[in-house]
Amino acid sequence: MPKQTAPVKKNEIITLKFEDLTHEGNGVGKINGYPLFVPNALPDEEAKVKVVKVNKNFGFGKVLELISESPERVDPLCHVDCNGCGLQHMSYQLQLEMKQNQVKNAMKKVAHLEEVPIHPIIGMDDPLHYRNKVQIPVGEKDGELITGFYQKRSHRIMENTETCVTHNEVINEVVKAVRSIANRLGIKAYQEEKHTGVLRHIMVRTGHATDEIMVVLVTRTEKLPNQDVLIAELTEAFPNIKSIMQNVNEKRTNVILGKKTKLLWGEEYIYDRIGDLTFAISAKSFYQVNPVQTKTLYDKALEYAQIDSNDNVIDAYCGIGTISLFLAQQAKKVYGVEIVPEAISDAKKNAKLNGMTNAEFFVGEAEKIMPWWKAQGLDPDVIVVDPPRKGCDEELLKAMLDMQPKRIVYVSCNPSTLARDLRILEDGGFKTQEVQPVDMFPMTGHVECVTQLILKKD
């Protein structure tokens, strides 16, 4: 049988009509049935395209010139090539449709659950300036400090591109101020190649409901030159700064934060509110970056949990206790488990802060703690999971099936791994009732989902 070859060659220039989008937002066009994935192209557009990579079953291209434009094309507010928010060229309505289709396709092709209702995605009234946290690398050029995002697929900082349309606007201003003051004070940037210099990253966090600001200065060295002057100027310029922390990362690594974090000024926490609850947020806390949609997401999780005052609930991957405490408002008892000790320390603090005595938190791997709980006689009525992008560990899924709760609420940031895990839970005796997509990250290809499952009755 003759070897099949692609109908295009690398560096060839072709005219291509686009008919679809990938889940990352790339345009899809076909030449003799052979798909080419092309960034910055939309369905119903035609373009001159340069073929940049050819694989056996698909290839990649680059738009050289648009011949016809989609009515869904909009002019991006930002033209920085950082790969952070790559959907700015499409209307917000098209972004939502793309994400809705991503969820539908995963449910159909991976979970084989075509009959399950997938509700229309919940978008934002204003899809800009939603991020409450940012980490910006610091570099040096011609003896001056620069801050900005790394260029796509590189470790080169694009000079002074720290302003982003998805960031809370005050964050952009604080980063610029830190750079300007540190530059004037002669604080040197970290040099990756030589492993010299001081300032590696600037992290800024904000409380959406409180307007409180935390600044974290990530340094290679314990000593931060002229720190008192830096603190004085920064806090004078931004009275809402409540916390200035230093994180020391002495290692040659791409990991941003080191193990040691110390307080330089103010308090170790800033505070935020979601609904009726208040949360203390530390430098290393995992806290959702879109506070407006977090409330939407958690309200939906609570609705799907259908908790009453007699219910015992397990919150696996509980983080700093955000979902746990929402659940504890209605449950008899909530058991939270999380592998990160600092997160559990924050969760306990947050329970105390809100006067919640019916939430307990444990350090450990959920897949190991839950079988132990079952052996101790804990039979949860509801299990809530909010795993990382890779989805639930197989052992955790087994532990959930063994516990046989009445309901499972699965919060997911990755439709593919959600669908994979739903198939396992379905085969283990649960029925997927409904899925609610939520747009937590406008201008990006990411989509969050809340899914309700119920135990099938024999």
Catalytic site positions: 413
Distance CA 416, CA 106 (A): 5
- Are 287 and 320 in contact by the 8 Å Cβ rule? The answer is yes
Q: Cα 221 to chain center, whole Å?
A: 29
**118 CB contacts (<8 Å, ≥6 apart)?**
100, 103, 104, 107, 434, 435, 437
Distance CA 224, CA 218 (A): 10
Distance CA 101, CA 22 (A): 10
Query: Three-state SS across 433-445?
Result: EEEEEECCCCCCC
DSSP state letters, 34-56: EEEEETT--TT-EEEEEEEEE-S
Selection from 236, 206, 214, 140 nearest residue 179 by Cα? 140
- Are 188 and 151 in contact by the 8 Å Cβ rule? The answer is no
Q: For residue 61, with 0-12 CB atoms within 10 Å meaning exposed, 13-18 middle and 19 or more buried, which class applies?
A: buried
Please name every residue paired with 53 in a beta bridge, in sequence order, or none if there are none: 60
Distance CA 422, CA 404 (A): 15
Segment (H or E) for 175: helix 169-184
**b/e per residue, 188-214, with b = 16+ CB within 10 A?**
bbbebeeeebbbbbbbbbbbbeeebbb
